[in-house]
């Protein structure tokens, strides 16, 4: 039932999906859904509660400061496995419905964990490191969420996402400031 709900939340949006639609697609009555979940927020929350411990397993080893390139690479590969596995639908749903879900406690908790992972992936302090970490996570989720737009087979998209993510978090000395004419690396 959760898988069906996540699929519908992703396809048509969390706000536009009713428990009746979830029940219909699951081939059960609305009352059967309500027997397990009081409302759609509880249904979504149950998926996120299963995801959070899996994220923590990735985040904790990657939190060392400064994070090694190997630890960052391992974390992004583990995150990719999470997205390709049983929790991928929860992560894709969270990304697709980010604005609609921001008022939900479970979604805020998930976002905090993703922020922790972003910081763990950051090779550098400050906005650039954070941006690289966030974009690396987004690339991995995009491979699962935007298949039609990206083309190729799922395995090809995930290989490409990992390559992009690795380039974002693994380039220790890359700095866009050095590419700006007339500026040195030390200038903000």
pLDDT at site 123: 80
Contact 106, 44 (CB under 8 A): yes
pLDDT at site 125: 82
32 CB-near residues (< 8 Å, 6+ apart): 23, 26
pLDDT at site 177: 33
Give the C-alpha separation, 88 to 93, whole Å: 8
pLDDT at site 183: 34
pLDDT at site 184: 37
pLDDT at site 67: 75
Q: At what angle do helices 40-62 and 19-26 cross, to 10 degrees?
A: 80
Angular region, 153: left φ>0, alpha ψ -120 to 50, beta rest:
beta
pLDDT at site 170: 82
97 CB-near residues (< 8 Å, 6+ apart): 9, 10, 13, 14, 15
pLDDT tens digits in sequence order for the chain, 188 residues long: 999 999 999 999 999 999 999 999 999 999 999 999 999 999 999 999 999 999 999 998 887 777 788 889 999 999 999 999 989 999 999 999 989 998 899 999 999 999 999 999 988 888 999 999 999 999 999 998 888 788 889 889 999 999 999 999 984 433 333 333 333 333 33
* DSSP codes of every residue in 10-52: HHH-TTT--HHHHHHHHTS-HHHHHHH-SSHHHHHHHHHHHHH
Contact 95, 145 (CB under 8 A): yes
Both tokens of 187, joined, read 């200038």
Give the C-alpha separation, 126 to 108, whole Å: 22
Contact 145, 86 (CB under 8 A): no
Both tokens of 92, joined, read 């894709």
């Amino acid at each position: 039932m959760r898988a069906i709900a996540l699929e519908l939340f992703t396809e048509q949006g969390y706000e536009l999906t009713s428990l009746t639609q979830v029940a219909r697609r699951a081939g059960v009555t609305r009352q059967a859904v309500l027997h397990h979940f009081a409302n759609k927020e509880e249904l979504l929350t149950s998926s996120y509660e299963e995801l959070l411990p899996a994220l923590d397993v990735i985040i904790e080893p990657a939190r060392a400061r400064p994070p090694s390139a190997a630890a960052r690479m391992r974390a992004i590969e583990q995150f990719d496995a999470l997205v390709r596995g049983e929790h991928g639908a929860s992560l894709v749903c969270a990304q697709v419905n980010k604005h609609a879900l921001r008022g939900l406690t479970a979604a805020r908790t998930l976002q905090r964990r993703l922020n922790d992972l972003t910081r763990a992936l950051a090779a550098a302090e400050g906005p650039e490191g954070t941006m690289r970490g966030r974009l690396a996570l987004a690339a991995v989720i995009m491979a699962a969420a935007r298949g039609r737009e990206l083309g190729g087979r799922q395995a090809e998209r995930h290989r490409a996402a990992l390559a992009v993510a690795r380039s974002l978090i693994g380039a220790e000395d890359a700095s866009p400031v050095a590419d700006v004419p007339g500026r040195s690396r030390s200038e903000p």
